[in-house]
């Protein structure tokens, strides 16, 4: 029996899963490697971080998702090196996985713009562990403020700074305001949670720069109605334990959350040289890594500028479409055909700002407010993996809408538990 081509996929995120599913009926053996055993629906991570959803509502085991593909295996491990000359992927320092074709969908991590020391006091949001640690930090701030007798220290405990005005930062700030103003009201004796100060800081001229000005203005108004202080055009110059420097102003803040930037996964260095400033691999029109036969790069790790002259954004739809296209090109190569260039279809852009308020830009249609929120809700439920996840999320959001409550306000002893 002839040996089947070996296809290795690095990463079980949107791009990796899309590629694996596309290869279901292709005559090849597929190995998917990820350092977590689960796939996370990242657009809803902030809901876990702000006690709106449980981790199981937005995550599923990779093995379960791909259980109907008998010629696929899943390996739990950290990819440390790609040897393109030997066509091998090295895991955890000692396990080598050979490949004929490689799809790298390793994603991205937090970027602190040269200040990695800030990560200890300003956590970002990329994984379930991040979300649970942030949830614990947020809820503990209110609990500690309840016990605090010093008014100045109490104000510090009830001051929250979100750095970065993209969708993640806006959604975090809006959800945090909901917790303080609605979910926790009347639950404390010594403090008024509604007195919490929440700041959203954006170094650029405007929050949500990918949206048209009308929708940005709508989001800005919605945040301010929730009590969020929106600071635009101000860069953070220092982050330390208990304080943030914004321009010339020093703000005492117990909780600082980072949503300001991302950097491509370091494994991209093995596919250089010529990486861009964010560490992404400039790919060819067919998503191959130049100079590396049989290697495709997709998602946050790929810098694809052939369509508009600017790199595509690091969003789920880009990763899914690129993962699917890379797998189709692998199938073409297996059949002895030529690869085809990738073309991105933009389905639109969405962001939610607190309870029953969101903005949506579909190009031909721009919506804000309650109607935008309904569209946002429908789209996110539609793309969740598994009927159980969709039903659970729908029920929890319905309960939150009717009661103003956040249903998963659990403080775990271990941030990663």
Q: What is the CA radius of gyration of the chain?
A: 22
Instruction: Write down the pLDDT at residue 417.
Output: 39
Nearest C-alpha neighbor of 323 from the set 350, 337, 342, 310:
342
Reported confidence tier of residue 125, pLDDT bands at 50, 70, 90: very high
At 412, the pLDDT band (50, 70, 90 cuts) reads confident
171 in catalytic set: yes
Maximum Cα–Cα distance across the chain: 76
Identify the weakest region by mean pLDDT among 195-199, 238-242, 256-260, 389-393.
389-393
Contact criterion met (CB below 8 Å) for 104 and 301: yes
- Active site residue: 117, 171, 202, 240, which one? 171
Residue 45 · residue 125 · CB < 8 Å: yes
d(CA 42, CA 37): 15
pLDDT > 50? residue 227:
yes
pLDDT band with cut points at 50, 70 and 90 for residue 404: low
3-state secondary structure of 206: coil
Can you tell me the distance from the alpha carbon of 5 to that of 99, in angstroms, rounded to the nearest whole number?
8
What local confidence, expressed as pLDDT, does residue 396 receive?
Answer: 77
Q: List the single range of 231-235, 377-381, 398-402 with lowest mean pLDDT.
A: 398-402
pLDDT in tens, 259-301: 998 899 999 999 988 899 889 999 999 999 999 999 999 999 9
Least confident of 8-17, 144-153, 344-353, 374-383: 374-383
Least confident of 109-113, 140-144, 303-307, 395-399: 395-399
Percentage of the chain with pLDDT > 90? 78
The per-residue pLDDT for 403 is 64
pLDDT at 405: 65
pLDDT band at residue 406 using 50, 70 and 90 as cut-offs: low
Q: Transcribe 232-293 into DSSP letters.
A: ES--EEEEETTEEEETTEEEE-SEEEE-S-EEE-GGGGGG-SS--TTS-EE--TTSBPTT-T
> pTM of this prediction?
0.91
What is the rounded average pLDDT of the residues 67-88?
95
pLDDT tens-place string over residues 51-74: 888 888 899 999 999 999 999 999
Q: Which domains does the chain have, with CATH numbers?
A: 6-35+77-110+262-334 (3.50.50.60), 119-260 (3.50.50.60)
């Amino acid at each position: 029996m002839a040996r089947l081509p070996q296809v290795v996929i690095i990463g079980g995120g949107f791009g990796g899963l899309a590629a694996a599913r596309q290869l279901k009926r292709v005559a090849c053996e597929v190995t998917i490697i990820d350092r977590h055993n689960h796939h996370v629906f990242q657009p809803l991570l902030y809901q876990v971080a702000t006690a709106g959803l449980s981790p199981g509502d937005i995550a599923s085991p990779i093995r379960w998702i791909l259980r109907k593909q008998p010629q696929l295996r899943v390996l739990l491990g950290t990819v440390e090196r790609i040897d393109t000359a030997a066509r091998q992927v090295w895991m955890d320092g000692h396990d080598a996985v050979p490949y004929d074709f490689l799809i790298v969908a390793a994603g991205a991590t937090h970027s602190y713009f040269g200040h990695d020391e800030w990560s200890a006091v300003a956590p970002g949001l990329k994984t379930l562990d991040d979300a649970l640690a942030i949830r614990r930090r947020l809820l503990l701030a209110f609990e500690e403020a309840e016990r605090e007798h010093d008014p100045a220290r109490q104000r510090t405990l009830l001051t929250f700074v979100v750095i970065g005005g993209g969708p993640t930062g806006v959604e975090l700030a809006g959800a945090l305001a909901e917790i303080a103003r609605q979910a926790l009201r009347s639950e404390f004796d010594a403090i008024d949670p509604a007195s919490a100060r929440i700041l959203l800081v954006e170094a650029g001229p405007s929050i949500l720069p990918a949206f048209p000005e009308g929708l940005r203005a709508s989001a800005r108004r919605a945040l301010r109605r929730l009590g969020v202080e929106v600071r635009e055009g101000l860069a953070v110059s220092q982050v330390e334990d208990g304080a943030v420097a914004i321009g010339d102003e020093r703000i005492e803040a117990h909780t600082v959350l980072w949503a300001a930037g991302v950097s491509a996964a370091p494994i991209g260095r093995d596919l250089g040289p010529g990486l861009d400033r964010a560490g992404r691999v400039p790919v060819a029109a067919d998503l191959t890594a130049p100079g590396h036969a049989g290697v495709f790069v997709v998602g946050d790790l790929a810098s694809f500028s052939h369509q508009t002259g600017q790199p595509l954004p690091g969003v789920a739809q880009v990763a899914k479409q690129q993962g699917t296209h890379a797998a189709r090109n692998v199938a073409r190569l297996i059949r002895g055909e030529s690869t085809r260039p990738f073309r991105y279809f933009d389905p639109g852009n969405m962001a939610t700002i607190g309870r029953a308020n969101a903005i949506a830009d579909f190009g031909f249609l721009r919506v804000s407010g309650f109607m935008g929120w309904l569209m946002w809700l429908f789209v996110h439920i539609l793309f969740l993996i598994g009927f159980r996840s969709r039903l659970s999320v729908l029920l929890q959001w319905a309960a939150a809408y009717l009661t103003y409550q956040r249903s998963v306000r659990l403080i775990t002893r271990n941030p990663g538990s």
